[in-house]
Structure formats: structure tokens, C-alpha cells
Amino acid sequence: MKSISTSIFVTILCLGVFSFAHSQSPSFSQSLSNPSFYIPSLAGWHGGLAAQAQYRNQWPGIPASFLNYQLGVDGYVHKLRSAFALQAGHLQEGSDQVTGEKLQFHWAPRLSLADQVTFIPSASFEYQHYKIEPGTWSYWSQFPDPLSAGGDGKVDLYGLGLGGSLVAKSFVFGANWSFINTPREANFTMPSRLTLIASQRFSLAKVAYFTPTIVYDREGEFNALTFGSNIQYNWINLALAYRWNDAAVFAAGVDMKERLRLTYSYEVTVSSLGTEFLGSHELGIRVLFFQQQQKGRLLQDTSIL
């Protein structure tokens, strides 16, 4: 299994390094604080019920800063050997110049391959709605302008997604392909998005845990490759990450009675955009319920980045 996990890490690294674009739609740095948002097959990893909320203020140094809000609930149903997740989000650019809402539903059944080795496929349905005011097409210029075709600036998109995760003891590899149908309305087409995540949790003298992660995210012709390093000691969580040619991320979090987790991260822009964008701030909260249902727990815990 060690050779397989090493091969997966190297494969993701090569995908990112040999890609040439370095941007994408606004998203969250804390990719593993709410894992089912990026990798739906990791829904219900805790074996019970979880609720998460995230807030991101991206580039507050410019008038058209991005605000992202995300709420999620996921749970595992032992009798069905399946997990389910519901995610709802809101995006805002500037003073309501560009707004968007999204709703996602995920289903992830579990298949036991061997002792402590589980494969979890996933299927997703997603709805997104955007409203773009005239003359405000900025970051979203990576997509065709829906106003250019005489539209009213309102876009409704329906997407399908497929994915899967392999969990072997403390090693996790997850993949998800969203908007595989590349929905189109008027002059607006949403490109498909591929996300790959790999992580390995190591015990440090049985008093702390070290979890390196690598995340590759590709949307259309835009991509991001992120290396993360997480340390967990008792109730304290610290993390560092570097997004290739884009940003450095610093994060911290606290756990309370193994049920509540609060996290904060700050992202420093290191690309050609410059420091005048003032980086990005992100807050997260996670609450776990029904922790007594350990028989359905896949992972001991998840990291922040």
C-alpha cells in the first residue's frame, strides 16, 4: 500500500507541475475542513452526523473583493452503508455586482475491499444560479459573458458529478469530476471541474499527528496545485500550505471535546497580482454529532488544509 500511496502523490504532483494555467473560480483554502464540498465520496467519514460552515473574504484590498459562504450537512446511514451530504453556498463579488447561489446533493455508498481498505464511489447533483450586472464582468472573464448575447445576466445551471475515494487505514485518495455534462445557457458554459486529493496521517510518538496533503484542482483551462502540511497536538491544529505560483496559506484551529472545531486561515498572494490585494481571510466551524457510532467511522479525523 505504501508504494501505491507514493505513486498517487507523484501522479498528482506531475499533473500540477506540467499544467500551465494558475487560476480558477474562487474557492476555499481549507479544503479538508469540509471534505465533502470538494470530494463528495468523503461524506460521512465520521460515521455519524456533521454540520460545517465556512466564510471566505478574498482580496479585501480591492473594491470587487469576493465573499464566499458555504453551509454543509453530511451523515452516514449504517443500514444503507451509504453517506449523504447537502451543501448550500453563496458567492458575492463587489457590492452585489456578481452574485451566485449553489445547491449540491451527494450520495456515497461504501464498498469494503479488504481489512481496513474501503472504496467509496459517489454521485452528485448540483444547481447553480448567477446574476451578473452589466459592466461588472471581471474575474469571471474566464467564461463567456452572458450579457454579450443579449441576455439578462441571469444564469441557471444544472450539473452532474461522479467521483470516488480509496481509504486504507490512515491514507486517503479522493477524486471528483463535477459538471461532467458542461451545462450551457445562452452564451454561458460552465466547464467541468476535476479535483484530486491525497493525504497520509502519521503518528508522532503517539502524542501528535502529522498529515501532509496534496490537492490538484482543474476547471476548464485553469488549475491549482496545493501542498499542505498539518500538525495536530491534543486540541491544537496548525497548518501551512503553498498553492503553486499563487498563494501561501497559514491556518490554525482548536478542537473542543472532540465535537466542535473552530478554524481560521490567512492566505498571502505570491503571484503577479501583488500584495495590494491584502490576501484572503477564511473562517470555519465544524460540529460532530452521534460520535458513539464508531462502527461507521472511516477516518480518525481530518486536517485543515
Whether 128 maps to a domain, the answer reads: yes
pLDDT digits (tens, 9 = 90+) for 143-174: 445 554 445 678 888 999 999 999 998 999 99
The answer on pLDDT for 22 being more than 50 is: no
Calculate what percentage of the chain has a pLDDT beyond 70.
77
- Pick from 62-76, 215-229, 234-248: least confident: 62-76
251 pLDDT higher than 70: yes
What is the reported pLDDT for 293?
Answer: 60
Q: Is 219 a domain residue?
A: yes
Instruction: Please tell me which residue, 241 or 62, carries the higher pLDDT value.
Output: 241
Question: How many structural domains are present in the chain?
Answer: 1
**249 or 136, higher pLDDT:** 249
Residue 212 belongs to a domain: yes
Boundaries of domain holding 135: 2-296
Is 303 inside any structural domain? no
pLDDT at 114 over 80: yes
**Is pLDDT at 287 greater than 90 in this prediction?**
yes
Tens of pLDDT, residue by residue over 38-66, are 999 999 999 999 999 999 988 666 665 68
- Does residue 301 fall inside a structural domain? no
CATH number of residue 45's parent domain: 2.40.160.40
Which pLDDT belongs to residue 246?
Answer: 82
Higher pLDDT, 263 or 31: 263
pLDDT value of position 272: 62
Instruction: Let me know if residue 175 belongs to a domain.
Output: yes
Whether residue 19 is contained in a domain is answered as: yes
Residue 302, in any domain of the structure = no
| Complete DSSP assignment for the chain | -HHHHHHHHHHHHHHHHT------S---S-TTTSHHHH-GGGTTTTSSEEEEEEEEEE-TTSTT-EEEEEEEEEEEEGGGTEEEEEEEEEEEETTTTEEEEEEEEEEEE-EEEETTEEEEEEEEEEEEEEEE-TT--SGGGGS--TTTTT--SEEEEEEEEEEEEEEETTEEEEEEEE-TT--EETTEEPPPEEEEEEEE-EEETTTEEEEEEEEEEEETTEEEEEEEEEEEETTEEEEEEEETTTEEEEEEEEEETTTEEEEEEEEEE-STT-GGG--EEEEEEEEEE-TT-GGG---S-----
pLDDT of residue 206: 81
Answer yes or no: is pLDDT of 278 > 70: no
Q: What is the mean pLDDT of the chain?
A: 83
What is the pLDDT confidence band of residue 189, given thresholds at 50, 70 and 90?
A: confident
User: What pLDDT, on a 0 to 100 scale, did the predictor assign at position 4?
Assistant: 57
